[in-house]
Structure 1
Amino acid sequence: MNHSVRLDNGEHAQLIDNEIERIRECLGRSSKLRDLFDYLVDRSRTGTPPREVEISQDVFGRTTQAGDDGGARVYIHRLRKRLEEIYGDRRGAGLRLTLPLGEYRLIAEIGSADFPGPESAPLLLAPRRQFSWRALAIAAVGLTAAFALVVSLLLWPAPGVREATQVRQSEIWKPLFANRKSVIIAEGDHYLFGEKGAGGEVSRLVRDYRIHSREDLDAYLLSHSSDAARYIDVGQSYIPTTVPRAQQYLAPILARAPSVRVLPATQVPAAAMLSQNIIYLGLSSGLGPLSAPTTSGSRFELSTDSDQIRDKRTGRVYGAGPSGGASPRRQYGLVSLFFGKEGNRYIILAGTSEMGLVGLVETIGAYDGLRELSNALHSSGTAEALYEVDSQGAGVLAVRLVATNQRDQQRVWTP
């Protein structure tokens, strides 16, 4: 039978201390969340749970004198949700730290037999009998990806075995196979957060170019406390439909890699960025943690809030043309090639729009397209190129090499 104890309980002191350290490690890079956790641990151990205004002042440095600062509530909810995620895959664990609803103190639950998973977070899901936008979003993303994969097989044939062999031997791809390291395909994902309706349920999903993660959302809500009751993290992101198509196209080329796994770009571990080959597939606005090495010392500047690429050498701005209609649409794609600190290969394939990515992958994954690029780059292992892509509907009409640049490897990892 479950029972709760304070964090200063002497009988279970070692178990509680070990669990506190484990949770701190799980909280990872989110320093504010970790600061809040440490603060609540200290206050809970002394038996003096803080008030909301104390959290705002002591943890976040706010000067408000009233308990109406939504920032503290945002982080309390964020911490509660994170604890539920951490324990979601540890059913039957013997000790669990919890943050009870309506309270600002941590307690230890001893002897729990069945802990709820992350789906039990009360503020994230609409009532069981109400329409669930989150469920619809998940289903829509899954169906769209499946449909895109079927279409890709019919309309976007991948390279044959012979051509795939030639591509692997090109100067662009050869370093990726020569080092015998595993490959991570980083999908450019875009963060979505929820907007709550009058009844408190999530009524729609929102994408804001200024907000790329739940940490960004937390920071926004801290400075816009009036929106704290309106917006909420729902743990969702979306990936453009052409990304699985691009993966399918490159599959024959990557068949000789030691191992290949697929991750959202925002979830690529820092350790993997140092030691494994990385192939980015997505939009130029979705690079996430790969943005810094892609743009450091680059000739091209990528906009984080639009689909534009600026050539810093000429000052020209390249952006996608209008979509729809009978006229072809002009888009752009950027190829960036460099190495990690342990000799791991990076191949960045980023389009200003979805068809820009399609045209780019068709070129970089085809032997004829690679020959033009290899000649322009003079066999450089660290370089970049900008392509112009004309498309109409779901078809690529023409791809042209616009500009190339030899990158300085020493500047790739230097801010």
Structure 2
Amino acid sequence: MLTLPDLEERSVHDKRYQVFISSTFQDLREERRAVQDVIISMGDFPVQMESFPAADEDQFEFIKSLIDKCDYYVLIIAGRYGSPAEDGLSYTHKEFRYAVEKGVPVLVMLHGEPGKIPAESLEPTDSGRQSLKDFIKEAEHKRLRKTWTTLGDLKLAVREALDHAKATKPRVGWIRGDAVASIDTLEELNEVRKENEKFRIALGNLSVEIPLPKLPNADELTTLTLLPMTSNKGTKRGSSAKIQGSWISFFPLFFSNLYVSTNDWNGEFYFNIDHDASCVQIASAIAGELAPVETAGCFKITRSTLDRLISYYTEAGLMIASGNEGQTPFTETAQRLARRHHVVGSAPPFAIIEGEVTITAIGSSGGNFSRNLDDDIPF
């Protein structure tokens, strides 16, 4: 009798995928055949137009219908851009854009040593070479890309890219007809397992549902405490003050001054928040809105205050809830909101309720640090 893990394993291995192979045609015949062989060896179905490569709009409409049915799209790029259609794009470029538009995961296989490509397989014109350069730049942007120089390299790159895509970007695929009943059974058993787990936890731990605290409205007031810092040059120091404003009033400065670094790994982008630098930058920016002096590096908020702001903006849908994939922790709504505030502009929507925002020169007899026009005149 099949167990639940057996059914899960079978459902994975019974699934097959359709993979569209796209490239210029005449110069990459052997490469297309090699990719086709790899896809077949993995148990999947290659889809390509070997008998009549796209040469007009009628055939391109048919190719679009094939891409619609494919699970993954492999793009092979070497030294040719291809003949442009009436809109100026080659048919390979048009296929790529259509796959992106339809949300089909694109796996880019880029020739790693263009200088070794035979002259007859290169674009003969400056305009063709520029179009190829622009196409490569577009295809590489935020996308899994692998390089190859030989057929062996290309086969390995395609196999690795497809394995990674199946693991990270699962698609519908195809399943044998005799496996459907097993999968239906798997789904039913999985639902029963989930219900049993809920009852086991409830009975074993006497757990109860705990209601979530109500999130404050965006226009409700909150208070931030600015703490003094000595600037990195050691020449001036800020003061202490409590600032009151609405949650949303602090967001534009939070958005602009949260210190975020990005990096990429194998085409995947990740962000990382520097909490210490963010505490200083955000506090100094708030102080700068309330004092007519340079405040950079002279104020900070505590880490707990920063975490409280991050938690609120996350719950409000302005930041990503979990994980660190991507180039920014902010949602598209947050970016639009910040842009609108920059466009509108206004007086600071928050105020000092305790203390003051001042800068003191280090080593002076005390008092506020300010600049006077006479100080700039050397005589």
* TM-score when normalising by structure 2: 0.28
Give the structure with the larger helix fraction. Answer: 2
- Larger-gyration structure (1/2): 2
More strand by share: 1
